Chains A and B, each alone.
Chain A
Amino acid sequence: EAGVAQSPRYKIIEKRQSVAFWCNPISGHATLYWYQQILGQGPKLLIQFQNNGVVDDSQLPKDRFSAERLKGVDSTLKIQPAKLEDSAVYLCASSSAGGVWENIQYFGAGTRLSVL
């Protein structure tokens, strides 16, 4: 079974530029998450989707961050414009909606963003 795919693995941009990250969850997983992991900290949830609807985006800085999940499968997270403090690893995770494996989140390898 293929895991959660993310791209790119690394991205370097200058402040005020825009950037987008892509995530493809495990096939059949209804729930998709985006996390921000700042160096030395645990991941922090930015947004959660259930199919193509947003369940929780309370910690998403909506003035500069946006996310969408087209057709309930792939997802894109965008930052526009980027700030220095956005430098972090952006992790995507997915989980199934039910069954014995419900609530277990499977993570991708992440995208490391450096804002200069």
Chain B
Amino acid sequence: AQTVTQSQPEMSVQEAETVTLSCTYDTSENNYYLFWYKQPPSRQMILVIRQEAYKQQNATENRFSVNFQKAAKSFSLKISDSQLGDTAMYFCAFMRYNNNDMRFGAGTRLTVKP
């Protein structure tokens, strides 16, 4: 079974600084997808970034980028120039290729301080 581990229950960062959230996963699959979702206090989960395992290039979306290390089964999220609106729970998630069963980690609560 696939498992996703987020080892940092809580993190904080000063506004405008950079923070990295960690995620590791366990799978025997070769093709899969990895996601980072953001869940603000309002509760609606929002996709931050997606990575396809067959792509070596790390995904980037504006201030958000990932460091995908397939051999190490590591998928960290870097947030640059942190903003107050980035305060939220962040969930790492794994999905096998051609299977929409998404497995989530326990989440990291990020607080951006002014």
- Measured CB to CB, the residues of A under 8 A from B are 3, 31, 33, 40-45, 48, 55-56, 89, 91, 93, 95, 103-110, 112
Contact = CB atoms under 8 A, between A and B. Distances in A.
Q: Which of A56, A91, A107 has the most CB of B within 10 A?
A: A107
Given A40-B106, A41-B106, A42-B91, A103 B100 contact: yes
Interface of A is mostly: strand
Contacts of B47: 104-106
A56 B96 CA distance: 14
A107 B91 CA distance: 13
6 contacts: A42-B91, A43-B45, A43-B91, A93-B45, A95-B100, A110-B43
Interface residues of B, number: 20
B100 A48 contact: yes
A44 B104 contact: yes
A97 B4 CA distance: 25
Contacts of A104: 47, 50
Given A89-B43, A107-B44, A109-B44, A42 B105 contact: yes
